[in-house]
């Protein structure tokens, strides 16, 4: 039986800021992009602000209306990365199977860890205690026999807690939860499942898998596997992540794309999905973009090009659109589908004296802020303006509904 932990740093950004400035630790604190911008959004909040009703993604002036003494701190992503790495160094003392899920969440496979006689709860408690005493932060840890349930466990009790979901109790704990609590079930997927009268994770686990596949495609089968406790996805080591050669997503749209606006809007959504998954897998930069164009006669054209090293969705989309303009003419017909893929990865940040570095860092901070909001409220909660030119496109959740697991990628 596998022993999987999911460790989640509690209120990570805000906790780091309070750790570095003890004078504010007993006050309601939010981390935002720019303190001077009252229209900015809350990226993170501490427990005091949370209890006052402040939510991630809330507009800053709304948060201030809830808390007259709210402390607003600008984000310091370099510091968050430093603390994230320090915590992961502790994790790696227990196992080499440490897989990041963003900057503040990690899966650990401790099946072969022999500390405390291999007792996963005692190991989790030791990790929780060490992070608190050695780093000064708290974690919530889920203990289970697969990644999906371990992730659920870490979400159930916060802060500074351990939740065990095992083969004996998972139906009592997991199946009564709302279906949107399941990993990768965003707002669009939730709505589709609700229309099938699936309201809870238990409803999903008991539903006819054939109907799920008919309604949601292969993704329906994957979600059924998750809900029924059959997830067998491994926790990947750094070396195994290095073996991933590409990250991509493609989509055949419900109608033909008829102009450059249609194409760019879909390329943005695809590139945002690719960028987010690339960062989830731990890659800092990609140096090559691949574009696949499927015409309405179902003939496909694939092209690739080098681009300046980047992890920004906007850069990927721009590079893909440039390839599109170089290799497609509207006189040749219409576009039925598009695919975006990035390769040629590096996990090393590249230093530069280019004057554009500051702007690139601002763009990266903005993308991180948007990703934080999407992880909290669903990927459809915020989009670029061009996406709103098509109501159907706004409803797309390409990352969660068109997932390609690393183990299944070419």
Known catalytic residues are: 105
Instruction: State the residue for tokens 């809350």.
Output: 42
Sheet containing strand 71-74, edge to edge, reads: 42-45, 29-32, 71-74
The DSSP output letter for 330 is: G
Q: Characterize 376-403 residue by residue with b for buried, 16 or more Cβ atoms within 10 angstroms of its Cβ, and e for exposed.
A: eebbbeebeebbeebeebeebbbbbbbe
289's enclosing H/E stretch is strand 285-295
The angle formed by the CA atoms of residues 26, 153 and 116, to the nearest 5 degrees, is 95
Query: 347, 308 in Cβ contact below 8 A?
Result: no
The DSSP output letter for 131 is: I
How many Cβ atoms from other residues are within 10 Å of residue 138's Cβ?
19
Task: Please tell me the distance from the alpha carbon of residue 221 to that of residue 210, in angstroms, as a whole number.
Answer: 8
Query: 13, 80 in Cβ contact below 8 A?
Result: yes
Task: Please tell me the distance from the alpha carbon of residue 139 to that of residue 163, in angstroms, as a whole number.
Answer: 12
Query: Could you tell me where the beta strands, DSSP code E, fall in 161-274?
Result: 162-164, 246-257
Instruction: State the residue for tokens 């990993």.
Output: 183
Q: How many helices and strands (H and E) does the chain possess? A: 17, 12
Task: Please tell me the distance from the alpha carbon of residue 201 to that of residue 183, in angstroms, as a whole number.
Answer: 11
Query: 337, 248 in Cβ contact below 8 A?
Result: no
Q: How far is CA 61 from the centre of its chain?
A: 27
Tokens in use for 311?
């992890």
Task: Please tell me the distance from the alpha carbon of residue 244 to that of residue 410, in angstroms, as a whole number.
Answer: 8
Dihedrals φ, ψ of 383, to 5°? -145, 160
Query: 42, 20 in Cβ contact below 8 A?
Result: no
Tokens in use for 177?
């939860």
């Amino acid at each position: 039986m596998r022993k999987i932990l999911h460790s989640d740093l509690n209120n990570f950004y805000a906790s780091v800021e309070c750790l570095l400035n003890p004078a504010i630790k007993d006050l309601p604190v939010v981390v935002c992009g720019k303190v001077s911008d009252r229209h900015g959004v809350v990226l993170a909040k501490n427990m005091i602000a949370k209890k006052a009703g402040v939510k991630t993604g809330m507009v800053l002036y709304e948060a201030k209306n809830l808390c007259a003494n709210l402390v607003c701190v600008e984000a310091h992503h370099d510091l968050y990365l430093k603390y994230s790495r320090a915590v992961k160094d502790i994790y790696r003392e227990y196992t080499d199977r440490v897989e990041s899920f963003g900057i503040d969440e990690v899966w650990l496979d401790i099946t072969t860890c022999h500390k405390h006689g291999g007792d996963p709860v005692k190991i989790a408690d030791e990790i929780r205690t060490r992070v608190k005493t050695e780093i000064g932060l708290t974690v919530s840890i889920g203990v289970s026999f697969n990644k999906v349930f371990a992730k659920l466990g870490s979400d159930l009790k916060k802060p500074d807690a351990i939740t065990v979901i095992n083969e004996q109790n998972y139906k009592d704990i997991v199946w009564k939860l709302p279906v949107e609590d399941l990993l990768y079930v965003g707002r669009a997927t939730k709505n589709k499942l609700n229309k099938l009268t699936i309201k809870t994770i238990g409803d999903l686990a008991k539903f006819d898998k054939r109907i799920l596949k008919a309604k949601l495609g292969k993704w329906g089968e994957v979600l059924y596997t998750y809900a029924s406790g059959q997830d067998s996805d491994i926790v990947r080591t750094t070396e195994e992540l290095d073996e991933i050669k590409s990250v991509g997503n493609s989509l055949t749209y419900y109608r033909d794309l008829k102009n450059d606006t249609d194409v760019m809007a879909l390329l943005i959504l695809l590139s945002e999905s690719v960028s987010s998954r690339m960062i989830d897998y731990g890659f800092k930069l990609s140096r090559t973009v691949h574009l696949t164009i499927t015409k309405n006669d179902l003939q496909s054209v694939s092209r690739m090009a080098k681009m300046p090293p980047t992890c920004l969705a906007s850069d990927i989309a721009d590079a893909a659109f440039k390839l599109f303009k170089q290799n497609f003419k509207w006189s040749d017909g219409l576009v039925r589908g598009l695919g975006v893929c990035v390769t040629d990865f590096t996990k090393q940040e590249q230093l530069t004296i280019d004057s554009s570095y500051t702007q690139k860092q601002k763009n990266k901070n903005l993308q991180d802020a948007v990703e934080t909001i999407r992880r909290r409220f669903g990927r459809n909660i915020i989009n670029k303006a061009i996406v709103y030119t098509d109501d159907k496109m706004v409803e797309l959740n390409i990352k969660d509904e068109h997932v390609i697991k690393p183990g299944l990628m070419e």
